[in-house]
Structure 1
Amino acid sequence: MALAAGMRVRARALLRAGAQLRGAALGRPEPAGGGGDGARRFANLRVLVETDPAAGVAVMKLKNPPVNSLSLEVLTEFLISLEKLENDKAFRGMVLTSDYPGVFSAGLDLTEMCGRNPAHYAEYWKAVQELWLRLFLSNMVLVAAINGACPAGGCLMALTSDVRVLADNPNFVIGLNETQLGIVAPFWFKDTLVNTIGHRASEHALQLGLLFPPAEALQVGIVDQVVPEDQVQSTARSVMARWMAIPDHARQLTKAMMRKATADRLIKQRDADIQNFVSFVSRDSIQKSLQTYLEKLKQKKG
Protein backbone atom coordinates (compact mmCIF):
# COMPACT_ATOMS: atom_id res chain seq x y z
CA MET A 1 0.00 0.00 0.00
CA ALA A 2 2.87 2.36 0.81
CA LEU A 3 4.32 1.63 -2.62
CA ALA A 4 1.06 2.51 -4.36
CA ALA A 5 0.67 5.69 -2.30
CA GLY A 6 4.20 6.77 -3.16
CA MET A 7 3.55 6.19 -6.84
CA ARG A 8 0.39 8.34 -6.72
CA VAL A 9 2.35 11.23 -5.19
CA ARG A 10 5.04 11.01 -7.87
CA ALA A 11 2.43 10.73 -10.61
CA ARG A 12 0.56 13.83 -9.41
CA ALA A 13 3.79 15.84 -9.48
CA LEU A 14 4.42 14.80 -13.08
CA LEU A 15 0.82 15.39 -14.08
CA ARG A 16 0.75 18.90 -12.61
CA ALA A 17 3.77 19.76 -14.75
CA GLY A 18 2.36 17.99 -17.81
CA ALA A 19 -1.01 19.70 -17.52
CA GLN A 20 0.62 22.90 -18.73
CA LEU A 21 1.64 21.38 -22.05
CA ARG A 22 0.71 23.47 -25.05
CA GLY A 23 -2.67 22.67 -26.55
CA ALA A 24 -3.70 20.05 -24.03
CA ALA A 25 -7.50 19.84 -24.21
CA LEU A 26 -8.27 17.20 -21.63
CA GLY A 27 -11.43 15.84 -20.11
CA ARG A 28 -14.00 17.47 -22.37
CA PRO A 29 -16.98 15.09 -22.51
CA GLU A 30 -18.59 14.42 -25.84
CA PRO A 31 -21.26 11.96 -27.01
CA ALA A 32 -20.06 8.40 -27.40
CA GLY A 33 -21.71 7.41 -30.63
CA GLY A 34 -22.79 3.79 -30.48
CA GLY A 35 -21.28 3.39 -27.02
CA GLY A 36 -24.45 2.10 -25.37
CA ASP A 37 -26.45 3.42 -22.45
CA GLY A 38 -24.34 5.18 -19.86
CA ALA A 39 -21.24 5.32 -22.07
CA ARG A 40 -19.18 8.51 -22.09
CA ARG A 41 -16.25 9.70 -24.15
CA PHE A 42 -13.52 12.14 -23.21
CA ALA A 43 -12.05 14.11 -26.10
CA ASN A 44 -8.30 14.45 -25.72
CA LEU A 45 -5.87 15.46 -28.41
CA ARG A 46 -3.96 12.20 -28.61
CA VAL A 47 -5.68 9.77 -26.22
CA LEU A 48 -9.35 8.86 -26.51
CA VAL A 49 -11.11 7.50 -23.43
CA GLU A 50 -14.48 5.81 -23.79
CA THR A 51 -16.06 4.97 -20.45
CA ASP A 52 -18.92 2.67 -19.54
CA PRO A 53 -19.64 3.24 -15.83
CA ALA A 54 -22.43 0.66 -15.83
CA ALA A 55 -19.95 -2.05 -16.79
CA GLY A 56 -17.11 -0.52 -14.75
CA VAL A 57 -14.86 -0.56 -17.81
CA ALA A 58 -13.03 2.12 -19.80
CA VAL A 59 -11.43 1.79 -23.22
CA MET A 60 -8.33 3.90 -23.77
CA LYS A 61 -7.36 4.38 -27.41
CA LEU A 62 -4.09 5.88 -28.64
CA LYS A 63 -4.71 8.31 -31.49
CA ASN A 64 -1.43 9.96 -32.38
CA PRO A 65 -1.07 9.52 -36.17
CA PRO A 66 0.49 8.08 -38.10
CA VAL A 67 1.90 5.34 -35.82
CA ASN A 68 0.88 6.27 -32.26
CA SER A 69 4.44 7.14 -31.26
CA LEU A 70 4.81 7.94 -27.58
CA SER A 71 5.78 11.60 -27.57
CA LEU A 72 6.06 13.57 -24.35
CA GLU A 73 2.62 15.05 -25.04
CA VAL A 74 1.10 11.59 -25.56
CA LEU A 75 2.70 10.26 -22.39
CA THR A 76 1.39 13.19 -20.38
CA GLU A 77 -2.14 12.96 -21.76
CA PHE A 78 -2.15 9.22 -21.15
CA LEU A 79 -1.04 9.61 -17.54
CA ILE A 80 -3.63 12.29 -16.86
CA SER A 81 -6.38 10.10 -18.32
CA LEU A 82 -5.17 7.07 -16.36
CA GLU A 83 -5.12 9.11 -13.16
CA LYS A 84 -8.72 10.18 -13.74
CA LEU A 85 -9.85 6.59 -14.22
CA GLU A 86 -7.98 5.25 -11.22
CA ASN A 87 -9.42 7.97 -9.00
CA ASP A 88 -12.96 7.08 -10.10
CA LYS A 89 -14.13 4.02 -8.17
CA ALA A 90 -16.70 3.33 -10.85
CA PHE A 91 -13.99 1.84 -13.05
CA ARG A 92 -12.42 -1.51 -12.25
CA GLY A 93 -11.01 -2.39 -15.66
CA MET A 94 -9.44 -0.79 -18.73
CA VAL A 95 -8.93 -1.99 -22.28
CA LEU A 96 -5.85 -0.48 -23.94
CA THR A 97 -5.99 -0.33 -27.72
CA SER A 98 -5.43 1.87 -30.78
CA ASP A 99 -7.84 4.19 -32.56
CA TYR A 100 -6.01 3.28 -35.80
CA PRO A 101 -6.34 -0.43 -36.64
CA GLY A 102 -3.08 -1.56 -38.20
CA VAL A 103 -0.77 -0.02 -35.61
CA PHE A 104 -1.05 -0.39 -31.85
CA SER A 105 1.97 1.81 -31.13
CA ALA A 106 5.35 2.11 -32.80
CA GLY A 107 6.81 2.89 -29.37
CA LEU A 108 8.96 5.72 -28.12
CA ASP A 109 9.09 8.87 -30.23
CA LEU A 110 12.66 8.93 -31.52
CA THR A 111 12.43 12.66 -32.23
CA GLU A 112 12.27 13.15 -28.44
CA MET A 113 15.64 11.39 -28.20
CA CYS A 114 17.48 13.01 -31.08
CA GLY A 115 18.93 16.50 -31.41
CA ARG A 116 17.61 17.70 -28.03
CA ASN A 117 19.39 18.79 -24.86
CA PRO A 118 20.10 16.62 -21.79
CA ALA A 119 17.35 18.29 -19.75
CA HIS A 120 14.77 17.28 -22.35
CA TYR A 121 16.07 13.72 -22.49
CA ALA A 122 15.76 13.51 -18.70
CA GLU A 123 12.20 14.89 -18.72
CA TYR A 124 11.16 12.49 -21.45
CA TRP A 125 12.68 9.45 -19.80
CA LYS A 126 11.04 10.27 -16.48
CA ALA A 127 7.68 10.29 -18.25
CA VAL A 128 8.43 6.91 -19.86
CA GLN A 129 9.32 5.49 -16.45
CA GLU A 130 6.11 6.91 -14.99
CA LEU A 131 4.01 5.36 -17.74
CA TRP A 132 5.44 1.92 -17.04
CA LEU A 133 5.14 2.20 -13.27
CA ARG A 134 1.56 3.43 -13.34
CA LEU A 135 0.42 0.74 -15.76
CA PHE A 136 2.47 -2.05 -14.19
CA LEU A 137 1.15 -1.27 -10.69
CA SER A 138 -2.40 -0.31 -11.64
CA ASN A 139 -5.16 -1.69 -9.42
CA MET A 140 -7.43 -1.95 -12.45
CA VAL A 141 -7.67 -5.04 -14.62
CA LEU A 142 -5.75 -4.13 -17.76
CA VAL A 143 -6.37 -5.92 -21.06
CA ALA A 144 -4.37 -5.00 -24.16
CA ALA A 145 -6.45 -5.33 -27.33
CA ILE A 146 -3.58 -5.28 -29.81
CA ASN A 147 -5.09 -4.34 -33.16
CA GLY A 148 -1.88 -3.50 -35.00
CA ALA A 149 1.90 -3.66 -35.02
CA CYS A 150 3.34 -3.41 -31.52
CA PRO A 151 7.14 -2.97 -31.43
CA ALA A 152 9.47 -1.52 -28.79
CA GLY A 153 7.69 0.89 -26.41
CA GLY A 154 4.33 -0.27 -27.74
CA CYS A 155 5.26 -3.79 -26.71
CA LEU A 156 6.33 -2.50 -23.29
CA MET A 157 2.90 -0.93 -22.76
CA ALA A 158 1.20 -4.18 -23.75
CA LEU A 159 3.44 -6.20 -21.44
CA THR A 160 2.21 -4.23 -18.43
CA SER A 161 -1.29 -5.54 -19.03
CA ASP A 162 -2.78 -8.50 -17.22
CA VAL A 163 -3.87 -10.06 -20.50
CA ARG A 164 -2.84 -9.48 -24.12
CA VAL A 165 -5.14 -10.26 -27.07
CA LEU A 166 -3.52 -9.94 -30.51
CA ALA A 167 -5.26 -9.70 -33.88
CA ASP A 168 -4.35 -12.50 -36.27
CA ASN A 169 -2.60 -10.59 -39.02
CA PRO A 170 0.97 -11.42 -40.12
CA ASN A 171 1.80 -7.72 -40.21
CA PHE A 172 0.87 -7.25 -36.56
CA VAL A 173 4.23 -8.10 -35.01
CA ILE A 174 5.17 -7.59 -31.36
CA GLY A 175 8.50 -7.44 -29.54
CA LEU A 176 11.30 -5.32 -28.12
CA ASN A 177 13.40 -4.57 -31.20
CA GLU A 178 15.64 -1.86 -29.74
CA THR A 179 18.92 -3.48 -30.85
CA GLN A 180 17.82 -3.16 -34.48
CA LEU A 181 17.82 0.61 -33.94
CA GLY A 182 21.26 0.56 -32.35
CA ILE A 183 19.96 1.17 -28.83
CA VAL A 184 19.61 -1.02 -25.76
CA ALA A 185 16.42 -1.92 -23.91
CA PRO A 186 16.74 -0.76 -20.26
CA PHE A 187 16.82 -3.31 -17.45
CA TRP A 188 13.17 -2.76 -16.57
CA PHE A 189 12.10 -3.42 -20.16
CA LYS A 190 14.14 -6.62 -19.89
CA ASP A 191 12.65 -7.55 -16.53
CA THR A 192 9.12 -7.15 -17.87
CA LEU A 193 9.85 -9.43 -20.82
CA VAL A 194 11.62 -12.03 -18.67
CA ASN A 195 8.61 -12.10 -16.35
CA THR A 196 6.46 -12.87 -19.37
CA ILE A 197 8.38 -15.34 -21.56
CA GLY A 198 11.30 -16.49 -19.41
CA HIS A 199 15.02 -15.75 -19.35
CA ARG A 200 16.36 -17.77 -22.29
CA ALA A 201 13.64 -16.73 -24.72
CA SER A 202 14.11 -13.11 -23.61
CA GLU A 203 17.87 -13.31 -24.14
CA HIS A 204 17.38 -14.34 -27.75
CA ALA A 205 14.54 -11.88 -28.34
CA LEU A 206 16.40 -8.89 -26.88
CA GLN A 207 19.79 -9.51 -28.49
CA LEU A 208 18.28 -10.13 -31.92
CA GLY A 209 15.57 -7.48 -31.58
CA LEU A 210 12.95 -10.04 -32.56
CA LEU A 211 9.47 -9.04 -33.67
CA PHE A 212 7.06 -11.96 -33.37
CA PRO A 213 4.14 -12.47 -35.78
CA PRO A 214 0.92 -13.69 -34.14
CA ALA A 215 1.51 -17.47 -34.22
CA GLU A 216 5.05 -17.13 -32.84
CA ALA A 217 3.95 -14.52 -30.29
CA LEU A 218 1.38 -16.95 -28.94
CA GLN A 219 3.85 -19.83 -28.93
CA VAL A 220 6.52 -17.90 -27.00
CA GLY A 221 3.89 -16.51 -24.62
CA ILE A 222 4.28 -12.81 -25.27
CA VAL A 223 0.52 -12.71 -25.94
CA ASP A 224 -2.24 -14.79 -24.35
CA GLN A 225 -4.67 -15.07 -27.24
CA VAL A 226 -4.67 -14.62 -31.01
CA VAL A 227 -8.08 -13.98 -32.56
CA PRO A 228 -9.48 -12.72 -35.88
CA GLU A 229 -9.15 -8.98 -36.31
CA ASP A 230 -12.86 -8.33 -36.00
CA GLN A 231 -12.98 -10.17 -32.66
CA VAL A 232 -10.17 -8.40 -30.79
CA GLN A 233 -12.34 -5.91 -28.95
CA SER A 234 -15.13 -8.37 -28.09
CA THR A 235 -12.58 -10.91 -26.87
CA ALA A 236 -10.92 -8.27 -24.72
CA ARG A 237 -14.26 -7.47 -23.10
CA SER A 238 -14.98 -11.17 -22.51
CA VAL A 239 -11.59 -11.63 -20.88
CA MET A 240 -12.20 -8.52 -18.80
CA ALA A 241 -15.48 -9.96 -17.48
CA ARG A 242 -13.71 -13.11 -16.29
CA TRP A 243 -11.07 -11.15 -14.39
CA MET A 244 -13.59 -8.71 -12.91
CA ALA A 245 -15.53 -11.66 -11.47
CA ILE A 246 -12.71 -12.04 -8.93
CA PRO A 247 -13.06 -9.91 -5.75
CA ASP A 248 -10.98 -6.77 -6.29
CA HIS A 249 -9.13 -6.79 -2.97
CA ALA A 250 -7.86 -10.34 -3.41
CA ARG A 251 -6.84 -9.83 -7.03
CA GLN A 252 -5.19 -6.46 -6.38
CA LEU A 253 -3.16 -7.71 -3.42
CA THR A 254 -2.04 -10.74 -5.43
CA LYS A 255 -1.05 -8.55 -8.39
CA ALA A 256 0.92 -6.21 -6.12
CA MET A 257 2.67 -9.18 -4.50
CA MET A 258 3.66 -10.61 -7.89
CA ARG A 259 4.89 -7.31 -9.34
CA LYS A 260 6.37 -5.45 -6.37
CA ALA A 261 9.95 -6.76 -6.67
CA THR A 262 10.15 -5.84 -10.36
CA ALA A 263 8.75 -2.35 -9.75
CA ASP A 264 11.02 -1.80 -6.75
CA ARG A 265 14.10 -2.36 -8.91
CA LEU A 266 13.27 0.69 -10.99
CA ILE A 267 11.97 2.79 -8.10
CA LYS A 268 15.22 2.33 -6.19
CA GLN A 269 17.35 3.12 -9.25
CA ARG A 270 15.12 5.65 -10.93
CA ASP A 271 17.47 8.65 -10.85
CA ALA A 272 20.44 6.53 -11.90
CA ASP A 273 18.39 5.08 -14.76
CA ILE A 274 17.58 8.59 -15.99
CA GLN A 275 21.24 9.58 -15.81
CA ASN A 276 22.27 6.44 -17.67
CA PHE A 277 19.70 7.10 -20.37
CA VAL A 278 20.76 10.72 -20.83
CA SER A 279 24.43 9.72 -20.96
CA PHE A 280 23.75 6.92 -23.44
CA VAL A 281 21.44 8.80 -25.79
CA SER A 282 23.74 11.85 -25.80
CA ARG A 283 26.64 9.89 -27.27
CA ASP A 284 27.65 10.99 -30.73
CA SER A 285 27.44 7.42 -32.04
CA ILE A 286 23.89 6.98 -30.73
CA GLN A 287 22.77 10.36 -32.06
CA LYS A 288 24.18 9.47 -35.49
CA SER A 289 22.44 6.10 -35.40
CA LEU A 290 19.10 7.71 -34.50
CA GLN A 291 19.53 10.41 -37.14
CA THR A 292 20.28 7.79 -39.78
CA TYR A 293 17.19 5.81 -38.84
CA LEU A 294 14.98 8.91 -38.87
CA GLU A 295 16.33 9.88 -42.29
CA LYS A 296 15.44 6.44 -43.62
CA LEU A 297 11.92 6.86 -42.29
CA LYS A 298 11.62 10.23 -44.04
CA GLN A 299 12.79 8.69 -47.32
CA LYS A 300 10.19 5.92 -47.02
CA LYS A 301 7.47 8.50 -46.48
CA GLY A 302 8.71 10.47 -49.45
Structure 2
Amino acid sequence: MSLQNPPVNSLSLEFLTDICISVEKLEMDKTCRGLIITSSLPKVFSAGLDIMEMYGKSPERCGEFWRAVQEMWLKLYGSNMVTIAAINGSSPAGGCLMSMTCDYRIMADNPRYSIGLNETQLGIVAPFWFKDTMTNTVGHRTTELSLQLGQMYNPAEALKIGLVDQLVPEDQVSHYSHTNHDQVTTPDRSKSMMRKPTIDKLTSKREADIQNFVSFITKDSIQKSIGMYLEMLKKRKR
Protein backbone atom coordinates (compact mmCIF):
# COMPACT_ATOMS: atom_id res chain seq x y z
CA MET A 1 0.00 0.00 0.00
CA SER A 2 1.65 3.15 -1.23
CA LEU A 3 0.48 6.29 0.56
CA GLN A 4 -0.34 9.14 -1.81
CA ASN A 5 -1.91 12.27 -0.39
CA PRO A 6 0.26 15.20 -1.60
CA PRO A 7 2.16 17.08 -0.52
CA VAL A 8 3.17 15.16 2.65
CA ASN A 9 0.65 12.31 3.17
CA SER A 10 -1.15 14.16 5.95
CA LEU A 11 -3.75 11.92 7.58
CA SER A 12 -7.00 13.73 6.87
CA LEU A 13 -10.44 12.27 7.60
CA GLU A 14 -10.86 11.28 3.95
CA PHE A 15 -7.37 9.75 3.68
CA LEU A 16 -7.77 7.81 6.93
CA THR A 17 -11.08 6.44 5.67
CA ASP A 18 -9.44 5.32 2.41
CA ILE A 19 -6.66 3.58 4.36
CA CYS A 20 -9.16 1.74 6.57
CA ILE A 21 -11.22 0.58 3.58
CA SER A 22 -8.07 -0.65 1.81
CA VAL A 23 -6.89 -2.61 4.86
CA GLU A 24 -10.36 -4.14 5.29
CA LYS A 25 -10.37 -5.34 1.69
CA LEU A 26 -6.90 -6.87 2.08
CA GLU A 27 -7.93 -8.63 5.29
CA MET A 28 -10.78 -10.30 3.38
CA ASP A 29 -8.57 -11.24 0.42
CA LYS A 30 -7.46 -14.83 1.09
CA THR A 31 -4.70 -14.53 -1.52
CA CYS A 32 -3.06 -11.61 0.33
CA ARG A 33 0.03 -12.81 2.21
CA GLY A 34 0.71 -9.55 4.01
CA LEU A 35 0.95 -5.79 3.76
CA ILE A 36 3.86 -3.45 3.10
CA ILE A 37 3.08 0.22 3.79
CA THR A 38 5.27 2.81 2.09
CA SER A 39 5.02 6.26 0.51
CA SER A 40 4.86 7.24 -3.13
CA LEU A 41 5.99 10.77 -2.25
CA PRO A 42 9.67 11.75 -2.02
CA LYS A 43 11.31 12.44 1.35
CA VAL A 44 8.22 11.78 3.48
CA PHE A 45 6.51 8.63 4.73
CA SER A 46 3.69 10.54 6.42
CA ALA A 47 3.74 13.93 8.14
CA GLY A 48 1.10 12.62 10.54
CA LEU A 49 -2.36 13.85 11.40
CA ASP A 50 -3.68 16.66 9.22
CA ILE A 51 -3.43 19.76 11.42
CA MET A 52 -6.21 21.44 9.45
CA GLU A 53 -8.59 18.73 10.74
CA MET A 54 -7.93 20.08 14.24
CA TYR A 55 -8.12 23.81 13.55
CA GLY A 56 -11.32 25.84 13.38
CA LYS A 57 -13.53 22.75 13.06
CA SER A 58 -16.81 22.01 14.84
CA PRO A 59 -16.80 19.58 17.78
CA GLU A 60 -18.79 17.13 15.64
CA ARG A 61 -16.20 17.21 12.87
CA CYS A 62 -13.35 16.83 15.38
CA GLY A 63 -15.08 13.79 16.87
CA GLU A 64 -15.58 12.23 13.45
CA PHE A 65 -11.92 12.80 12.62
CA TRP A 66 -10.69 11.29 15.90
CA ARG A 67 -12.85 8.20 15.43
CA ALA A 68 -11.17 7.72 12.04
CA VAL A 69 -7.72 8.00 13.67
CA GLN A 70 -8.73 5.35 16.19
CA GLU A 71 -10.09 3.13 13.43
CA MET A 72 -6.86 3.33 11.43
CA TRP A 73 -4.87 2.27 14.50
CA LEU A 74 -7.27 -0.54 15.41
CA LYS A 75 -7.27 -1.91 11.85
CA LEU A 76 -3.47 -1.91 11.53
CA TYR A 77 -2.41 -2.78 15.10
CA GLY A 78 -4.95 -5.61 15.25
CA SER A 79 -4.37 -6.86 11.71
CA ASN A 80 -4.07 -10.60 11.12
CA MET A 81 -1.69 -9.89 8.25
CA VAL A 82 2.08 -9.69 8.48
CA THR A 83 2.72 -5.95 8.17
CA ILE A 84 5.91 -4.08 7.31
CA ALA A 85 6.49 -0.32 7.33
CA ALA A 86 8.86 0.64 4.51
CA ILE A 87 9.76 4.09 5.83
CA ASN A 88 11.24 5.94 2.87
CA GLY A 89 11.12 9.44 4.36
CA SER A 90 10.41 11.40 7.52
CA SER A 91 7.66 10.09 9.76
CA PRO A 92 6.64 12.40 12.63
CA ALA A 93 3.66 12.07 15.00
CA GLY A 94 0.82 10.10 13.35
CA GLY A 95 3.23 8.83 10.72
CA CYS A 96 5.35 7.36 13.49
CA LEU A 97 2.22 5.86 15.07
CA MET A 98 1.30 4.18 11.79
CA SER A 99 4.83 2.78 11.50
CA MET A 100 4.67 1.37 15.03
CA THR A 101 1.46 -0.53 14.28
CA CYS A 102 3.45 -2.71 11.88
CA ASP A 103 5.25 -5.93 12.82
CA TYR A 104 8.56 -4.77 11.34
CA ARG A 105 9.97 -1.38 10.36
CA ILE A 106 12.59 -0.80 7.66
CA MET A 107 13.83 2.78 7.29
CA ALA A 108 15.91 4.55 4.64
CA ASP A 109 19.38 5.26 6.02
CA ASN A 110 19.30 8.98 5.30
CA PRO A 111 20.33 11.29 8.18
CA ARG A 112 18.00 14.00 6.87
CA TYR A 113 14.98 11.86 7.73
CA SER A 114 13.47 11.66 11.21
CA ILE A 115 10.82 9.74 13.10
CA GLY A 116 9.12 10.16 16.47
CA LEU A 117 6.05 11.29 18.40
CA ASN A 118 6.57 15.06 18.56
CA GLU A 119 3.07 16.15 19.65
CA THR A 120 4.53 18.05 22.61
CA GLN A 121 6.05 20.56 20.19
CA LEU A 122 2.49 21.51 19.15
CA GLY A 123 1.33 21.84 22.74
CA ILE A 124 -0.63 18.59 22.36
CA VAL A 125 -0.38 15.65 24.76
CA ALA A 126 -0.07 12.27 23.03
CA PRO A 127 -3.16 10.11 23.79
CA PHE A 128 -2.73 7.09 26.06
CA TRP A 129 -2.87 4.62 23.19
CA PHE A 130 -0.13 6.48 21.29
CA LYS A 131 1.91 6.22 24.48
CA ASP A 132 1.05 2.53 24.95
CA THR A 133 2.06 1.72 21.37
CA MET A 134 5.43 3.41 21.80
CA THR A 135 5.99 1.80 25.20
CA ASN A 136 5.34 -1.61 23.63
CA THR A 137 7.90 -0.74 20.95
CA VAL A 138 10.82 0.94 22.76
CA GLY A 139 10.10 0.55 26.49
CA HIS A 140 8.82 2.79 29.27
CA ARG A 141 11.78 5.06 30.01
CA THR A 142 12.59 5.84 26.37
CA THR A 143 8.91 6.59 25.74
CA GLU A 144 8.73 8.85 28.79
CA LEU A 145 11.68 10.95 27.64
CA SER A 146 10.56 10.94 24.04
CA LEU A 147 7.06 12.21 24.81
CA GLN A 148 8.22 14.83 27.31
CA LEU A 149 10.68 16.31 24.83
CA GLY A 150 8.71 15.73 21.63
CA GLN A 151 11.86 13.95 20.49
CA MET A 152 12.52 13.24 16.83
CA TYR A 153 15.15 10.62 15.96
CA ASN A 154 17.37 10.29 12.90
CA PRO A 155 17.54 6.76 11.43
CA ALA A 156 20.64 5.71 13.41
CA GLU A 157 19.09 6.90 16.68
CA ALA A 158 15.77 5.23 15.83
CA LEU A 159 17.56 1.93 15.21
CA LYS A 160 19.48 2.22 18.47
CA ILE A 161 16.34 2.58 20.61
CA GLY A 162 14.37 -0.03 18.63
CA LEU A 163 11.93 2.39 17.02
CA VAL A 164 12.93 0.84 13.68
CA ASP A 165 14.29 -2.66 13.11
CA GLN A 166 16.55 -2.19 10.10
CA LEU A 167 18.27 0.56 8.10
CA VAL A 168 18.92 0.11 4.38
CA PRO A 169 20.13 2.33 1.53
CA GLU A 170 17.38 4.71 0.45
CA ASP A 171 16.99 3.22 -3.02
CA GLN A 172 16.64 -0.30 -1.62
CA VAL A 173 13.84 0.18 0.94
CA SER A 174 11.25 -1.50 -1.29
CA HIS A 175 13.58 -4.38 -2.18
CA TYR A 176 14.44 -5.15 1.43
CA SER A 177 10.81 -4.86 2.49
CA HIS A 178 9.77 -7.56 0.05
CA THR A 179 12.81 -9.70 0.87
CA ASN A 180 12.20 -9.48 4.61
CA HIS A 181 8.47 -10.04 4.39
CA ASP A 182 8.84 -13.80 4.11
CA GLN A 183 11.27 -13.84 7.03
CA VAL A 184 9.02 -11.87 9.39
CA THR A 185 6.83 -14.54 10.91
CA THR A 186 4.03 -13.31 13.12
CA PRO A 187 1.72 -16.17 14.08
CA ASP A 188 -1.80 -14.84 14.59
CA ARG A 189 -2.12 -16.20 18.12
CA SER A 190 1.19 -14.78 19.35
CA LYS A 191 0.54 -11.38 17.79
CA SER A 192 -2.99 -11.28 19.17
CA MET A 193 -1.80 -12.36 22.61
CA MET A 194 0.81 -9.60 22.75
CA ARG A 195 -1.38 -6.81 21.40
CA LYS A 196 -4.84 -7.68 22.72
CA PRO A 197 -4.52 -5.88 26.11
CA THR A 198 -3.51 -2.62 24.38
CA ILE A 199 -6.31 -2.94 21.82
CA ASP A 200 -8.89 -3.81 24.49
CA LYS A 201 -7.86 -0.76 26.51
CA LEU A 202 -8.73 1.62 23.68
CA THR A 203 -11.85 -0.32 22.67
CA SER A 204 -13.25 -0.08 26.21
CA LYS A 205 -12.50 3.65 26.44
CA ARG A 206 -13.14 4.65 22.84
CA GLU A 207 -16.05 7.05 23.36
CA ALA A 208 -14.39 8.68 26.37
CA ASP A 209 -11.19 9.10 24.35
CA ILE A 210 -13.12 10.86 21.58
CA GLN A 211 -14.79 13.19 24.07
CA ASN A 212 -11.46 13.96 25.74
CA PHE A 213 -9.90 14.79 22.36
CA VAL A 214 -12.78 17.04 21.29
CA SER A 215 -12.81 18.83 24.66
CA PHE A 216 -9.06 19.37 24.53
CA ILE A 217 -8.58 20.32 20.89
CA THR A 218 -11.44 22.87 20.85
CA LYS A 219 -10.05 24.82 23.83
CA ASP A 220 -9.25 28.42 22.92
CA SER A 221 -5.68 28.07 24.20
CA ILE A 222 -5.04 24.97 22.08
CA GLN A 223 -6.62 26.52 18.99
CA LYS A 224 -4.39 29.55 19.50
CA SER A 225 -1.31 27.32 19.82
CA ILE A 226 -2.18 25.44 16.61
CA GLY A 227 -2.84 28.72 14.83
CA MET A 228 0.59 30.04 15.81
CA TYR A 229 2.18 26.81 14.57
CA LEU A 230 0.41 27.14 11.22
CA GLU A 231 1.61 30.73 10.90
CA MET A 232 5.16 29.57 11.57
CA LEU A 233 4.83 26.97 8.81
CA LYS A 234 3.62 29.63 6.37
CA LYS A 235 6.64 31.82 7.14
CA ARG A 236 8.97 28.90 6.52
CA LYS A 237 7.52 28.36 3.06
CA ARG A 238 8.01 32.00 2.01
Common topology (TM > 0.5):
yes
Percent same amino acid among aligned pairs? 61
More contact order relative to length (CA 8 Å, sep ≥ 6): 2
Alignment of 1:230-269 (within 5 A): 230-243=171-184, 246=185, 251-269=187-205
Q: Does 1:171 align with 2:112?
A: yes
Of 188, 206, 218 in structure 2, the residue corresponding to residue 282 of structure 1 is: 218
Of 230, 235, 238 in structure 2, the residue corresponding to residue 294 of structure 1 is: 230
Return the structure number with greater strand share: 1
1:186-233 CA-to-partner distances (Å, cap 9, x unmatched) read: 000000000010000100001000000011000010000011101111
Of 199, 205, 208 in structure 1, the residue corresponding to residue 146 of structure 2 is: 205
Of 130, 136, 144 in structure 1, the residue corresponding to residue 85 of structure 2 is: 144
Structure 1 residue 92 displacement after superposition: 1.9
Structure 1 residue 238 displacement after superposition: 1.2
Q: Which residue of 2 aligns with 1:133?
A: 74
Aligned-partner Cα distance in 1 for 2:14–2:216:
23
Of 32, 50, 67 in structure 2, the residue corresponding to residue 91 of structure 1 is: 32
1:126-179 CA-to-partner distances (Å, cap 9, x unmatched) read: 000000000000000000000000000000000000000000111110000000
Of 63, 67, 84 in structure 2, the residue corresponding to residue 122 of structure 1 is: 63
Aligned-partner Cα distance in 2 for 1:98–1:174:
14
Aligned-partner Cα distance in 2 for 1:301–1:78:
29
Aligned-partner Cα distance in 2 for 1:238–1:206:
33
Aligned-partner Cα distance in 2 for 1:235–1:159:
18
Structure 1 residue 64 displacement after superposition: 0.7
Structure 1 residue 101 displacement after superposition: 2.5
Q: Which residue of 1 aligns with 2:46?
A: 105
Q: Which residue of 2 aligns with 1:68?
A: 9
Structure 1 residue 241 displacement after superposition: 1.2
State the secondary structure of the residue aligned to 1:95: strand
State the secondary structure of the residue aligned to 1:108: coil
Aligned-partner Cα distance in 1 for 2:172–2:39:
14
1:61-120 CA-to-partner distances (Å, cap 9, x unmatched) read: 111111110001100111111111111111020100000130000000010001010000
Give unmatched runs, 5+ long, in structure 2: none
Amino acid at match of 1:274: I
Structure 1 residue 301 displacement after superposition: 2.1
Alignment of 1:148-167 (within 5 A): 148-167=89-108
Aligned-partner Cα distance in 1 for 2:180–2:167:
13
Structure 1 residue 289 displacement after superposition: 0.5
Amino acid at match of 1:211: M
Of 159, 169, 172 in structure 2, the residue corresponding to residue 228 of structure 1 is: 169
Consecutive aligned runs of 4 or more in structure 1 exceeding 3 Å deviation: none
Aligned-partner Cα distance in 2 for 1:293–1:90:
45
Structure 1 residue 299 displacement after superposition: 2.0
Aligned-partner Cα distance in 2 for 1:233–1:93:
14
Q: Which residue of 2 aligns with 1:9?
A: none
1:27-79 CA-to-partner distances (Å, cap 9, x unmatched) read: xxxxxxxxxxxxxxxxxxxxxxxxxxxxxxxxx01111111100011001111
- TM-score, normalization by structure 2: 0.98
Q: Does 1:193 align with 2:134?
A: yes
Aligned-partner Cα distance in 2 for 1:282–1:288:
10
The CA RMSD measured in Å over matched residues stands at 0.9
State the secondary structure of the residue aligned to 1:70: coil
